[in-house]
């Protein structure tokens, strides 16, 4: 497995930060989530270093803010791929249950062929 392939996919998501239309594949969504998780763990570990902790806590906040909009856009495109409206992302505001519902939607296969949100990203 070539990590650069996943990194390129991650960078593509960041480049499409202002694209709230269209569809995204499961692979794109979960790659973005996994890389963010790994980066979060690394930053969290580095934030525990006594002298550098405050710097990495600031880095953590800045990183979270930097991926917020691309993450929202990607989540909306992923919902579109399952033929759901992007407004359903607001379900995450329901404590615990909302996040679980969105994760279930993100894990489901996309609509085969074109739907009202655009062409099949697998095609």
DSSP assignment string, 8-54 = HHHHHHHHTTT--SS---HHHHHHHHHHHHHHHHHHHHHTTSTTTHH
Quick one: pLDDT at residue 88? 97
For the entire predicted model, the pTM comes to 0.92
pLDDT, residue 114, reads: 94
CA distance 12 to 110: 19
pLDDT digits (tens, 9 = 90+) for 37-55: 999 999 999 999 888 889 9
Residues 58-97: pLDDT tens digits?
A: 999 999 999 999 999 999 999 999 999 999 999 999 999 9
SS3 at position 118: strand
pLDDT for residue 18:
94
């Amino acid at each position: 497995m070539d990590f650069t392939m996943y990194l390129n996919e991650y960078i593509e998501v960041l480049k499409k930060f202002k694209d709230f239309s269209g569809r995204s594949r499961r692979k794109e969504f979960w790659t973005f989530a996994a890389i963010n998780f790994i980066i979060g763990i690394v930053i969290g570990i580095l934030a525990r270093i006594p002298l550098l902790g405050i710097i990495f806590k600031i880095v953590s906040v800045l990183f979270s803010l930097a991926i917020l909009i691309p993450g929202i856009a990607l989540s909306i495109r992923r919902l579109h791929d399952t033929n759901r409206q992007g407004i359903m992302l607001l379900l995450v505001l329901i404590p615990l249950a909302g996040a679980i519902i969105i994760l279930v939607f993100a894990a489901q296969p996309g609509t085969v062929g074109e739907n009202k949100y655009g062409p099949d990203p697998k095609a």
